[in-house]
Amino acid sequence: MSRRLTTAALAALLLSGAAQAAQPLIIDVHRDANCGCCKDWITYLENNGFEVRDHVERNMNTVKQDLGVKPRLASCHTGVIDGKFVEGHVPVAQILELRKRPDLLGIAVPGMPAGSPGMEYGDVKHPYQVIGITRTGRERVIANYPLEQAAH
Ligand SMILES: [Cu+2]
């Protein structure tokens, strides 16, 4: 009897351990059917260990409005992770940071800057910022790309 309990407890432990180790980060991505760079961003996320739930939308404006993405911060696709929005071609590093920031409602890379993930054109790297939107409606610069090299 006690032996059976121990086996069950051990199995439960192993299962939870395995689930934890293999658990990918799940992100919902809303996009227009004909958006090629949106698909490239999705591929980029998948290559970085995310599980993407792809949602093809008829009206992206409504989606953005509902999630609280201001028009001037808008890009093409809109991701949602942990109930927070990820607008546009945001790099993975800032998505991971967003998950640790309870003060933020979402983050955005406005427009579609060349050189951002999913917007690669050879060596072209236009400067862009990742903007965080706080729960009180303020905007904060989360990162500047291309990332500046640390001085040695
Ligand atoms: Cu795009």
Burial of 148 (0-12, 13-18, 19+ CB in 10 A): exposed
Is the CB of residue 27 less than 8 Å from the CB of residue 41?
no
Span from the CA of 13 to the centroid of ligand 1 (angstroms): 43
State residue 147's pLDDT score.
84
Span from the CA of 60 to the centroid of ligand 1 (angstroms): 13
Tokens at residue 84, please?
A: 């927070």
Whole-model pTM: value is: 0.83
Contacts of residue 109, Cβ cutoff 8 Å, sequence gap at least 6: 75, 87, 88, 89, 90, 116, 128, 129, 130, 131
Span from the CA of 135 to the centroid of ligand 1 (angstroms): 25
Span from the CA of 99 to the centroid of ligand 1 (angstroms): 22
Alpha carbons 57 and 61: distance in angstroms, whole number: 10
Contacts of residue 147, Cβ cutoff 8 Å, sequence gap at least 6: none
Domain map (residue ranges) of the chain: 26-145
Span from the CA of 112 to the centroid of ligand 1 (angstroms): 5
Span from the CA of 140 to the centroid of ligand 1 (angstroms): 22
Domain covering 26-145, topology: Glutaredoxin (3.40.30)
Span from the CA of 77 to the centroid of ligand 1 (angstroms): 7
State residue 138's pLDDT score.
96
Span from the CA of 28 to the centroid of ligand 1 (angstroms): 16
Task: Give the residue ranges of DSSP H helices in 23-151.
Answer: 36-47, 60-67, 92-99
State residue 150's pLDDT score.
58
AA letter at 18 = A
> How far, rounded to the nearest angstrom, does the alpha carbon of residue 55 sit from its chain's CA centroid?
14
State residue 23's pLDDT score.
80
pLDDT lower than 50: segments of the chain = 1, 18-19
State residue 19's pLDDT score.
47
Alpha carbons 89 and 126: distance in angstroms, whole number: 13
- Look-up of token digits 């546009």: 88
Span from the CA of 122 to the centroid of ligand 1 (angstroms): 16
Alpha carbons 62 and 60: distance in angstroms, whole number: 5
Alpha carbons 127 and 3: distance in angstroms, whole number: 63
Alpha carbons 37 and 111: distance in angstroms, whole number: 12
